[in-house]
């Protein structure tokens, strides 16, 4: 029986991906910064483990607890909606610590076992912001574009060992708590200097007024497809809005 380790499973895409792999008969190691076992099915094939992807000690501990894994899904992320001029550099670093360096650190930790075994898949969940030009996402997009480039190069390094690396690019999902987390629990106004107010309001209205959105299940199913794909495809848009952006490129 195969084992997947998924980061950021307390809600949204991560939780739905954990449920999906579990429903397909896999062993699931569902990690979250603050463990909440009640959000996932009780099962001897599903373990909830504490993990902070920004902590080297936490990463070491989670792989020791996990034992051998076949797939790593780097889903944990910090959303960010802001006007760049009004975004403190401390916030920028916070976003990159999780979205970029956390993904790299988790990947580096799993690679020795994948390489030695001659198999394994790393799936890095990025975002459809990498597919189009979207305002209020400069910091978030930069953190995700870095992982797109990282994964593309990494895939070439791993191919001789039979190991794969891919990205899944979810569209916009209104049923996750993205907006609240994106503003650090505050309001968007905190990161919008007054001269940008009208522009930011229109951008947010356009975003929430889209006619197509991504569901959590779209992302879970796309991660599943990416893990099992044997065509060499590198990037997998997830959700109708993401697919539409990818086709327009």
Give the Cβ contact number of residue 7 at 10 Å.
26
How would you label 79-103 residue by residue, b for 16+ Cβ within 10 Å and e otherwise? bbbbbeebbeeebbebbbbbbbebb
140 included as an active-site residue = yes
List Cα–Cα distances, 229 to 13, 94, 145, 214, 236, in angstroms: 20, 33, 22, 21, 10
From 126, 120, 125, select the one nearest 158 (Cα to Cα).
120
55 CB contacts (<8 Å, ≥6 apart)? none
- Measured CA distances, 110 to 20, 60, 193 (Å): 22, 10, 42
Catalytic residue among 140, 196, 224, 236: 140
Contact 158, 179 (CB under 8 A): no
CA dist 22 and 6 (Å) reads 11
Task: Say how far apart CA 165 and CA 106 lie, in whole Å.
Answer: 13
Q: Which is it for strands 46-50 and 71-74: parallel, antiparallel or unpaired? A: unpaired
| Calpha distance 98→102 (Å, rounded) | 5
The set of catalytic residues is: 140
């Amino acid at each position: 029986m195969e084992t997947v380790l998924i980061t950021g499973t307390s809600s949204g895409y991560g939780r739905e991906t954990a449920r999906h792999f579990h429903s397909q008969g896999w062993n699931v190691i569902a990690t979250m910064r603050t463990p909440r076992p009640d959000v996932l099915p009780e099962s001897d094939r599903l373990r909830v483990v504490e993990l902070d992807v920004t902590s080297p000690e936490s990463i070491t501990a989670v792989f020791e607890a996990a034992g051998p894994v076949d797939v790593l899904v780097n889903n944990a992320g910090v959303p960010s909606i802001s006007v760049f001029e009004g975004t403190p550099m401390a916030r920028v670093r916070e976003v990159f610590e999780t979205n970029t360096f956390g993904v790299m650190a988790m990947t580096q930790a799993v690679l020795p076992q994948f390489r030695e075994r001659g198999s394994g898949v790393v799936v890095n969940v990025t975002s459809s912001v990498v597919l189009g030009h979207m305002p209020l996402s400069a910091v978030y997009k930069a953190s995700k574009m870095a992982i797109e480039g990282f994964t593309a190069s990494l895939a070439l390094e791993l191919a001789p060992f039979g190991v794969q690396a891919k990205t899944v690019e979810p569209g916009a999902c209104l049923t996750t708590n993205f907006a609240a987390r994106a503003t650090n629990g505050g309001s968007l106004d905190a990161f919008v200097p007054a001269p940008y107010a009208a522009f930011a309001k229109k951008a947010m209205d356009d975003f929430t007024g889209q006619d197509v959105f991504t569901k959590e299940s779209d992302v879970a199913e796309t991660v599943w497809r990416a893990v099992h794909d044997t065509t060499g495809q590198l990037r997998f848009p997830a959700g109708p809005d993401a697919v539409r952006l990818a086709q327009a490129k």
